Amino acid sequence: MENVYPLLNCFSLEEELTMSLYCGIAFRRKSFWCYRLLSTYITKTRYLFELKEDDDACKKAQQTGAFYLFHSLAPLLQQSEHQYLPPQHSLLELERLLRKFGQDTQRVEDSVLIGCSEQHEAWFALDLCLNGSSSINASLQKPEMEMELKGSFVDLRKALFWLNVKDASLLSTAQALLRWHDAHQFCSRSGQPTKKNVAGSKRVCPSNKIIYYPQMAPVVITLVSDGTRCLLARQSSFPKGMYSALAGFCDIGESVEEAVRREVAEEVGLEIERLQYSASQHWPFPNSSLMIACHATVKPGQTEIQVNFRELEAAAWFSHDEVITALKRNDPHTQQQNGAFPFWLPPKLAIANQLIKEWVEKSTCSSLPA
Ligand SMILES: NC(=O)C1=CN([C@@H]2O[C@H](COP(=O)(O)OP(=O)(O)OC[C@H]3O[C@@H](n4cnc5c(N)ncnc54)[C@H](O)[C@@H]3O)[C@@H](O)[C@H]2O)C=CC1
Ligand SMILES: [Mg+2]
């Protein structure tokens, strides 16, 4: 049962309240007050908001918090049986490690708030080798650090395949925030060094008080269909044989709908007719993007692709069966006899994969006899 939360409406408390321990309803004479239980999620959200706004509260939370460690933006992972987990370190352990690695314990101030447990244990991330001061010897010490920490610092692109969804999301957010702070050390107006608040939810220029907030770049990703086929494309930077949905950064001032129309016209020379929002995803590569995924349809008969080779290496229509075969392929990197690489699709951690699966399901249902 969820904990009982503070009274929502501030009624006077002079009355003797008998509060049922279970449904949180208090009675007084004939009227009764209802304590709406604040869900765990809401209290967690409000707690994190308070830590972002109140430096003293955040400093206090560090005392009992847990720290996730990074080295040059690669998270520390430990293997336990068949899975990889990111270990947590207390403030005391972290200060001991910093001293052992010859770093100033003040480096704790470079940590960023990344979340909290349901019991309001705050979670922080710290990179042991990012900004100038620590990086020279810290990069040399990486093997010793891994020995001491009984783990390895793993490139996030690889780590995401090994982590569960919760840890993958937490470490992606942590890396994005650590990278943002490292890249925004100075005010773009005064040139003065900016100062991070304790939680790392903003940076402020002490001279002109400009506040800088961590940014994500909005990216639209669209699976275009003509009713029976879906359109997939590849860039030369993609792994051999891999095709994905069309994607593109929103231009300033553009709505999602306008960006989807423009990207499809720009990349494959088609005009979309209808568009439907699907889902969104934080994508940390190469920098922090907010992927906004949509399905779109083109007018039947207006399906001739004109590939923009400045942006794409190839684009084509794929049938339902071809896509189902590709989704099942688990050895995509093996070259075929003729030297070509088989057609394969992004892994399930990429929202492109979800869009494609949704299309397969939708076209399977629509092809079922009514
Ligand atoms: N999670 C997923 O399923 C997928 C994610 N993506 C991601 O979507 C992003 C956009 O895909 P692209 O086709 O490359 O975009 P795109 O089609 O907009 O082309 C990239 C070009 O956009 C311009 N651009 C505009 N704003 C930019 C910004 N804020 N940052 C970087 N470049 C900017 C640059 O000239 C760059 O060369 C990429 O970062 C890619 O990693 C792409 C496909 C699948
Ligand atoms: Mg693109």
Q: How do residues 317-333 score in pLDDT, each as one tens digit?
A: 999 999 999 998 876 66
Question: Which protein residue's CA is at the shortest distance from atom 29 of ligand 1?
Answer: 217
Q: Kindly list the protein residues that place their beta carbon closer than 5 angstroms to ligand 2, a single-atom ion.
A: 247-248
Is the omega angle on the peptide bond into residue 284 within 30 degrees of 0, that is, cis?
Answer: no
Atom of ligand 1 nearest to the CA of 346: 3
Which positions ≥6 away from 290 have C-beta within 8 Å? 216, 217, 218, 219, 280, 281, 282, 283
Whether residue 21 has pLDDT greater than 80: no
Whether residue 176 has pLDDT greater than 90: yes
Average of pLDDT values for 40-69? 97
Q: How do residues 279-327 score in pLDDT, each as one tens digit?
A: 999 999 999 999 999 999 998 789 999 999 999 999 999 999 999 999 9
Answer whether 279 contacts ligand 1 (Cβ < 6 A): no
Mean pLDDT, the chain, rounded, equals 88
Answer whether 161 contacts ligand 1 (Cβ < 6 A): no
Top mutation candidate among 249, 291, 294, 355 for ligand 1, by most atoms within 8 Å of CB: 249
Answer whether 217 contacts ligand 1 (Cβ < 6 A): yes
- Among all bound ligands, the one having the nearest atom to the CA of 289 is 1
How far is Cα 296 from Cα 273, in angstroms, rounded to an integer? Answer: 7
Average of pLDDT values for 195-209? 98
Q: How do residues 214-262 score in pLDDT, each as one tens digit?
A: 999 999 999 999 999 999 999 999 999 999 999 999 999 999 999 999 9
Average of pLDDT values for 42-65? 98
Answer whether 283 contacts ligand 1 (Cβ < 6 A): yes
Indicate yes or no: pTM above 0.90: no
What sign does the CA torsion over 142, 146, 147, 149 have? positive
Tell me the domains of the chain and their CATH numbers: 40-131+139-183 (3.90.79), 217-365 (3.90.79.10)
Of 17 and 52, the structure prediction assigns the larger pLDDT to 52
Beta pairing, strands 122-127 & 66-71: parallel
